[in-house]
Structure 1
Amino acid sequence: MIQGFMQGIAYFFQGFTLITQKGIRGFVLIPLLINIVVFSAAVWLAYGQFQSLMDSLTAWLPSWLSWIEWVLLPFFAILVLLIIYYTFSIIANFIASPFNSLLAERVEKKLNGLPLPESSGFKAMAVNVGKALGSEVKKMIYMLKWMPVLLLITVIPGLNLIAPAAWIIYGAWMYSLQYADYPMGNHEMFIKEELVVLRKNRSHALGFGAATTLMTIIPVVNFFAMPVAVAGATAMWVKQLSR
């Protein structure tokens, strides 16, 4: 379990090396630009929502309980960051999904040395854009099924103490599905089949997803999270999941 988890983390960080290689760099630019725009908006919104939340808490608490604000500060900061960043990550991946599939295709060719299929490249992307967006919608539906449970944990007193951990585990699993879908989707696999593969490699998936989650919530660094995660997930597919 631990070995698989660490290998999953290592696959993610392989993405840094892969996106800088010749033949791949050109396919990183558009996903990178989309991520920069979307996550810049996320940073602005997260700051505004956090300020509003803390102002409301200050107004509600009596002066003799003002010290509670500082106790709750880290909890609310983590919670706001996780919720907003997961939401904006879904939006960014939806917009960039056709380009991410293309990036995964090129990374896989680099790793296994096999020729690309005839239906590849930007021409194939134009034909398959509907399929890519449809796959994103199916992933969103799967992700949203678990949202009510997480929201209940977040608002129930006492139980909400585990909310940040629950959101992190949720994010790790969903990120592994999100990015592994690109290389697996290129092989005509669909979400039900992808989930079977990921469950058989659960520790690898959670390790990869945990590393992705960490990079996604670090300002500025998170601009590179999408292309790095696509490349890393493709490496995990070639070397582990496809077996």
Structure 2
Amino acid sequence: MQLGRGFEYFFSGFPMITEKGLKRFVLIPLLINLVIFGTSLFFIYGWLTDAFAWINAQLPEWLSWLEWLLWPLAFLVVLFSYSMIFTVITNFIAAPFNGLLAEKVELHLTGQRVNDDGLLDTMRDVPRMLGREWTKLCYYLPRAIGFFILMWFLPIIGQIIWALFTCWMFAIQYKDYAFDNHKVSFADMKRDLNAHRGLSYGFGAGVMICAMIPILNMIVMPVAVCGATKLWVENYRNNYRGQ
């Protein structure tokens, strides 16, 4: 039940990115995503092309057919790992804008401001936001390395574990903006997400699926911020009212 609700929350972000009053706050995260994803895909494709040209040159002619087998495998590996790794990097850069988007979405949904900070106060808050992204990165990297290695040495089971971990990290990444706007600690945020694991895995699964679809993955970031903020408002916000 919670899995399905979490999945629905992610997709509820699609109509919100076109809502009047929110579109301008979607634009900057969207542009950041377009530039980083587009540039990185260009270089990855070039690197794979060079790598396969070298491999093909080493193979005898009668084994040249292996290139047609390796390309789909490489493509699947890139889709499976790239969506999470580069999304983490992109969100680190876009964190202040995603935090602002989450704030405006909450205002749109509740009619209440998260805080009364002006532009100068928001700018002063940027180092704290980047520090929060660093905390998430430190949480992510050692686990990602371990699970990524496991994915290669433990077929099928390793892939399942990596997929579950990716869903979990997507939930942490995008739900955290609303928590952070309310100055909820990273540890308390993880505790709340653990208490509703189904919502987190369902939401993360929606992000993961769309992040692996070319073109669609370009708008995943603002959609996920919007959907995650709605999830916050309807499931966690009342726990922190008055704090």
TM bracket (short chain): 0.7 to 0.9
Which of residues 229, 232, 239 in structure 2 aligns to 1:237?
Answer: 232
Please tell me the root mean square deviation across aligned C-alpha atoms, in Å. 2.2
**Alignment equivalent of 2:202, drawn from 200, 207, 216:** 207
> What SS does the corresponding residue of 2:125 show, helix, strand or coil?
helix
Equivalent residues of 1:78, 1:164 under 8 A apart = no
Q: Using the TM superposition, give the Cα deviation of residue 50 of structure 1 relative to its aligned residue in structure 2, in angstroms.
A: 3.3
Letter in structure 2 aligned against 1:172: C
Question: CA separation in 1, counterparts of 2:51 and 2:186?
Answer: 36
Q: Which of the numbers 122, 128, 133 marks the counterpart of 1:131?
A: 128
Q: Equivalent residue of 2:12, what SS? A: helix
Partner of 1:110: 108
Name the counterpart of 2:23. 25
Mapped contact 1:39–1:88 kept (Cα < 8 A): yes
Which range is displaced more, 60-69 or 22-31? Answer: 60-69
Q: Does 1:178 align with 2:173?
A: yes
Q: In the aligned structure 2, how far is the partner of 1:51 from the partner of 1:12?
A: 35
Contact 2:17-2:26 at 8 Å conserved across structures? yes
Instruction: Tell me which residue corresponds to 1:198.
Output: 193
Number of residue pairs aligned between Structure 1 and Structure 2: 238
Q: Say which of 203, 208, 222 aligns to 1:227.
A: 222
Structure 1 CA distance for aligned equivalents of residues 160 and 64 of structure 2: 26
The Cα shift of 1:85 comes to 2.9
Shift of 1:189: 1.2
SS in 2 for 1:229: helix
Deviation track 1:48-102 (CA, whole Å, cap 9, x = no partner) reads 3433454455456666666665555433321122323322211211111011111
SS in 1 for 2:99: helix
1:106-142 deviation digits (Å, cap 9, x = unpaired): 10111112234212x5333201100110000000000
Contact kept? 2:7, 2:202, Cα under 8 Å: yes
Where 1:28 maps in the other structure, the secondary structure is helix
CA distance in 2, matches of 1:26, 1:128: 21
| 2:98–2:222 contact (8 Å) kept in structure 1 | yes
- For 1:149, the equivalent position in structure 2 comes to 146
Assess, with a 3 A threshold, how the Cα gap between structure 1 residues 75 and 116 changes in structure 2: closer, same or farther. same
Tell me how far apart the structure 1 counterparts of residues 58 and 152 of structure 2 sit (CA, whole Å).
17
Letter in 2 for 1:151: F
> CA–CA distance in 2 between the matches of 1:233 and 1:82?
22
Q: Distance in 2 between matches of 1:200 and 1:55?
A: 50
Stretches of structure 1 lacking an aligned partner (at least 5 in a row): none
- Name the structure 1 match of 2:183: 188
Task: Give the equivalent residue in structure 1 for 2:4.
Answer: 6
Q: How far did residue 152 of structure 1 move?
A: 2.1
d(CA) in 1 for partners of 2:157, 2:47: 21
Distance 1:162 1:116 in 2: 42
